[in-house]
Chains A and B, each alone.
Chain A
Amino acid sequence: SQTIHQWPATLVQPVGSPLSLECTVEGTSNPNLYWYRQAAGRGLQLLFYSIGIGQISSEVPQNLSASRPQDRQFILSSKKLLLSDSGFYLCAWSVTSGEQFFGPGTRLTVL
């Protein structure tokens, strides 16, 4: 069966510090991968998606970047965090059937 992992579960970082969030998927090959962010009390916003290794599409301009160094690994990064980067970050995967499967999320607080 397929599983998706995200870490860390929670993170508190100072403004201006770097960020690296990791997502890995097990039990499937060549999945589509997604990063979403949910600000407090808001809906989910799609940040990035990837259809293959090294192929990243950005949905909104922002202070973040994404990379996919391996087929089942998706990384979200920032060189300098802003206060507005705080939120709940969710990774998801799908195959062509259309259903997306979400990870447990990382709650990021930028102080």
Chain B
Amino acid sequence: DAKTTQPPSMDCAEGRAANLPCNHSTISGNEYVYWYRQIHSQGPQYIIHGLKNNETNEMASLIITEDRKSSTLILPHATLRDTAVYYCIVRGRSYNTDKLIFGTGTRLQVFP
């Protein structure tokens, strides 16, 4: 499974866009990039995933570079409730399972 590298922490003003970077330089051609977040004392929550094209849903946008060695999760209008640890994961596949290898993530603090 490819390893990911994320900054340990970031700050963002409420209402502004939060751009969370992730490096995954050893990603394989058939591996997806997944993003989850974990609000304090809760289980992780799926946000978005992508293979090579940029993706957008109601929560966020995912921008993947053309060489797929890095990606950026964008929260377009951050709110205080977006304060959480954000995990970038390159999904490894094993027989019929989708094992997720969580790193230490980026702790995003949204301030008023």
Q: Residues of A with Cβ closer than 8 Å to B? A: 32, 34, 36, 42-46, 49, 51, 57, 59, 88, 90, 92, 94, 96, 98-105, 107
Bound CA span A100–B43, Å: 11
Q: Which residues of B contact A42 (CB under 8 A)?
A: 104
Task: Report the 4 A-B pairs with minimum CB-CB distance, sorted nearest first.
Answer: A102-B43, A44-B102, A98-B98, A99-B46
User: Given A43-B105, A90-B43, A90-B44, do A100 and B96 touch, yes or no (CB 8 Å)?
Assistant: no
Give chain B interface residues in 12-56, CB to chain A under 8 Å. 32, 34, 36, 38, 41-46, 49
Binary interface profile of B, 69-111, with partner A (CB < 8 Å = 1, else 0)? Answer: 0000000000000000001000100011111111111000000
Q: Which residues of A contact B42 (CB under 8 A)?
A: 104-105
User: Given A43-B104, A105-B43, do A99 and B99 touch, yes or no (CB 8 Å)?
Assistant: no
Name the distance in Å between B45's Cβ and chain A's nearest Cβ.
7
Q: Which residues of A contact B41 (CB under 8 A)?
A: 88, 105, 107
Considering only CB atoms, which chain A residue lies closest to B36 in the complex? Answer: A100
Q: Which residues of B contact A51 (CB under 8 A)?
A: 95-97
Q: Is there an interface contact between A100 and B102, defined as CB atoms closer than 8 Å?
A: no
- Contact partner, B46, options A44, A96, A101, Cβ 8 Å: A101
> In the complex, given contacts A43-B105, A99-B98, what are 10 additional A-B residue pairs having Cβ atoms less than 8 angstroms apart?
A43-B103, A43-B104, A46-B101, A57-B97, A88-B41, A98-B32, A98-B91, A100-B100, A101-B46, A107-B41
Considering only CB atoms, which chain B residue lies closest to A4 in the complex? Answer: B43
Q: Residues of B with Cβ closer than 8 Å to A? A: 32, 34, 36, 38, 41-46, 49, 87, 91, 95-105
Name the distance in Å between B90's Cβ and chain A's nearest Cβ.
12
Name the distance in Å between B98's Cβ and chain A's nearest Cβ.
4
